[in-house]
């Protein structure tokens, strides 16, 4: 049994594990994070303490994905924050070989799902130079687009790139054919920094092996 099977349950197949990890990147499904209920009960409560939720959401010492969940809980209760915290950027590129997905969070953590099914988790470090630049560019982009109010779309079709931004408890995104996305002036810098950071993660993984 592999390490991931131990985390997600021995009955789960590798494809199911990868799908669940992919779904968890967007922090829009409380059920996936249910194991955190004992630590952050108000996020999962039907009668939460609004003050506690607000403190979790705005505390940059707390894991970014947990903060997104707290913001999302506040949003479901029709409490709209006045600030705009960009807590995650998710880069999906559906190549001919399959879907590559890189999720980078404001706390410096990252998840990379290669089209081959290989996984890379990056934890416990301060945001690097490239991560800082990713979020600087994300601020510029998020200011020009609005939140997606419908159910999250399935992964982008082949030949397409999607950039998703976890802003407070909402998802903002842009999507289009890869050539158009690479050539869009607003997106060129963030795609460059995401690509550099992805290559850095892959190189680090190779070094460890």
CA 75 – CA 155 distance, rounded (Å): 24
Reduce the DSSP state of residue 155 to 3 states and report it.
coil
Q: How confident is the model at residue 158 (pLDDT cuts 50, 70, 90)?
A: very high
To the question of pTM greater than 0.85 for the whole model, the response is yes
Instruction: State residue 14's pLDDT score.
Output: 80
**DSSP state letter for 35:** G
Q: What is the DSSP string of 59-125?
A: -TTS-HHHHHHHHHHHHHTT---SS--EEEEEEEEEETTEEEEEEEETTS-EEEE-TTS-EEEE-S-
Give residue 1's pLDDT: 31
Please report, for the chain, how many H helices and E strands are present, in that order. 8, 6
> In the prediction, which pLDDT does 190 show?
98
Residues 7-48 pLDDT 10s: 344 445 788 899 999 999 999 999 999 999 999 999 999 999
> Which one has a higher pLDDT value, 81 or 178?
178
Structure tokens at 104: 């980078």
CA–CA dist 142, 190 (Å, integer): 12
Q: Is the dihedral of CA 192, 195, 201, 205 positive or negative?
A: negative
């Amino acid at each position: 049994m592999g390490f991931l099977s131990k985390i997600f349950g021995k009955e789960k197949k590798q494809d199911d594990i990868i799908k669940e990890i992919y779904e968890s990147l967007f922090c829009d499904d409380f059920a996936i994070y249910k194991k955190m209920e004992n630590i952050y009960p108000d996020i999962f409560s039907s009668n939460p303490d609004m003050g506690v939720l607000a403190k979790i959401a705005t505390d940059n010492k707390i894991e970014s994905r947990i903060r997104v969940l707290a913001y999302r809980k506040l949003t479901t209760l029709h409490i709209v924050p006045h600030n705009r915290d960009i807590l995650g950027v998710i880069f999906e590129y559906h190549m001919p070989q399959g879907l590559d997905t890189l999720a980078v969070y404001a706390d410096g953590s990252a998840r990379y799902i290669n089209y081959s099914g290989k996984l890379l988790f990056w934890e416990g470090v301060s945001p690097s130079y490239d991560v800082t630049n990713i979020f600087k560019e994300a601020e510029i982009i998020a200011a020009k687009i609005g939140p997606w109010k419908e159910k999250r779309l399935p992964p982008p079709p082949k030949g397409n790139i999607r950039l998703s931004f976890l802003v407070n408890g909402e998802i903002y995104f842009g999507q289009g054919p890869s050539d158009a996305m690479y050539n869009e002036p607003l997106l060129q810098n963030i795609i460059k920094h995401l690509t550099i950071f992805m290559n850095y993660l892959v190189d680090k993984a190779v070094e460890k092996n």
